Amino acid sequence: MIAHDTLDPFEELVTKGWVRPPESQRPAFPPSGRTLRPNSLAALVEIVRRANHAGFPFFFVGGGTRLSNHPLPVAPQLHGQPTIAIALDGLNRVLEFRPMDFTVTVEAGIPLAQLREQLAMRGQTLMLDSPHAQQGTIGGLLASGYAGPRRRSLGYTRDALLGAQLVLADGSLVESGGRVQRQASGYNLGRVMVGAHGCLGAYATLHLRTVPLPETHRCIVATLPEGTRSRVLASIEALPVEPTAALLIDGFMREIPGWEGPDGRVFLAFEGSETSIARATRDLRTALGAIGVSETRLFDRDAEALLEGVINAPVPLHHNHGDNTATIRLWGPPSKAVALRNTVHRQLGEVNLKAETITDLHNGDVYARVKAFGPRALDIAAREIFVELAHEATRASLLGAPASFHDRFTIAVNRERSSESLVPTLRSHFDPRSLYAIDRSLL
Ligand SMILES: Cc1cc2nc3c(=O)[nH]c(=O)nc-3n(C[C@H](O)[C@H](O)[C@H](O)COP(=O)(O)OP(=O)(O)OC[C@H]3O[C@@H](n4cnc5c(N)ncnc54)[C@H](O)[C@@H]3O)c2cc1C
């Protein structure tokens, strides 16, 4: 049983002005508890230290884009206890940008779009994809371990992280990794924490690698006539200039432009010099033309916004979980992505549900969204199929679904795989009293 102080351990911090009120447009976390918004690293350290001392369960919130799209996954042993949400969106400054060294140091609550804008003024950017970039923070991105469609060419999110200042569950402040590229080798706790959903501690300050902005961006959407899909996919794989993202799209007509063909659409993103992109376009059109694909649309000026729209399409912000839609992310080897996509369509088709899918040809992700006439119809028809599909993939997570989906899914799908087995061990070391309130196995 966790002991609570009867006095408010945070009152002094509020009086001193170290804690700001949460921004009103953000969802109020948590339902039974309070939100504290530190305005400095010292305030963050002090809040965590006091919460730990008083035995209050707590968790961290970045932009809230993941947490507002999900029933709050509170660890079962903490149910009913007042919980402290520590909102990090007040820690949002660029602390040091060294364009000559290609490094930047930021507070972890900075939204991705804001950081990108500042880097772009000096012709640089980050080598990572970022969902809901206007609101999602770099700390939240690392903590959720999101990996986007450009990771084959840009690298994984963790590769952008050189070092960090971390606040552990007892309030201690530790440094990990380095600040410059050559110090970044060796043991790096900040990298171990990628995907841990903050249950090993908070990212407070981050040292990140930057890269030059590409000269040009182009997106190409091609409509696939009947019987062309496998030949088109083979010809994309053989292109001399590799796209930075290659996706097969079925549905998502409202979110992604281009005509839907009988065999779907392919979406390709290219980045680089004007010459290389002109050559890639020529090669692609020649290859597709030979297969009988005549409908290709090019997007240049709005290419970056379009790619962002494609990244966000499976999980719109403030999705209503009470409705009749469920979205799952499945991932496995890239060579099996199309087979996994086919299984999704076949299994849902057998119960008369039409799936919309986005299949990442480079990385093996399959996002599947299904709608039914009502929540009950969705529950009866799709819930068991989602569980079966999750077992066919290497990993799976629910990205939006009615609450009833989550319980069954979590019980049925064991997602603690070997690469992550370090997290529970480290967690028992860093947070021995289990005060971190979010159960990451429920995410
Ligand atoms: C297509 C698509 C696919 C996605 N796939 C996944 C997925 O597979 N898994 C997933 O979790 N999310 C996924 N997301 C959600 C996405 O990763 C998050 O929305 C976003 O990157 C999180 O940023 P945020 O600042 O809004 O974090 P929040 O929603 O505020 O928090 C996300 C998680 O990170 C923790 N956290 C936030 N900030 C910090 C910090 N500074 N230090 C330590 N912990 C922190 C929170 O406690 C929470 O567990 C997906 C989104 C899209 C659009």
List, for residues 243-260, the tens digit of each pLDDT value: 999 999 999 999 999 889
Q: How close is the Cα of 284 to the center of ligand 1, in Å?
A: 35
389-440 pLDDT per residue, tens: 888 888 888 888 877 777 667 656 655 444 455 667 777 777 777 777 776 6
Strand partners, 296: 222
Architecture field, domain 216-312: 2-Layer Sandwich (3.30)
Q: Which CATH code for domain 94-212?
A: 3.30.465.10
Put residue 265 in one of left, alpha, beta given phi > 0 → left and psi -120 to 50 → alpha. beta
Residues of the chain with CATH 3.30.465.10: 94-212
Q: Which CATH code for domain 11-90+429-442?
A: 3.30.43
User: Which residues, 6+ apart, have CB-to-CB distance to 301 below 8 Å?
Assistant: none
In terms of CATH, what superfamily is 325-412?
Answer: Ribosomal protein S10 (3.30.70.600)
Do the Cβ atoms of 149 and 160 come closer than 8 Å?
A: no
Q: Ligand 1 pocket, 368 CB below 6 A?
A: no
Q: Ligand 1 pocket, 247 CB below 6 A?
A: no
What residue has token string 């369960």? 57
Confidence check: pLDDT of 83 > 70: yes
Atom of ligand 1 nearest to the CA of 195: 11
264-304 pLDDT per residue, tens: 999 999 999 999 999 999 999 999 999 999 889 999 999 99
Would the pTM of this model clear 0.85, i.e. be above it? yes
Q: How many other β-carbons are positioned within 10 Å of the β-carbon of residue 225?
A: 15
Residues of the chain with CATH 3.30.43: 11-90+429-442
List, in sequence order, the alpha helices (H) in 65-167.
112-120, 138-144, 151-154
Average pLDDT, the chain: 86
Residues of the chain with CATH 3.30.70.260: 216-312
Give the closest residue to 401 by CA, choosing from 343, 352, 318, 328: 328
Atom of ligand 1 nearest to the CA of 89: 25
Tell which wins on pLDDT, 374 or 54: 54
Q: Ligand 1 pocket, 18 CB below 6 A?
A: no
Confidence check: pLDDT of 366 > 60: yes
Q: Ligand 1 pocket, 143 CB below 6 A?
A: yes
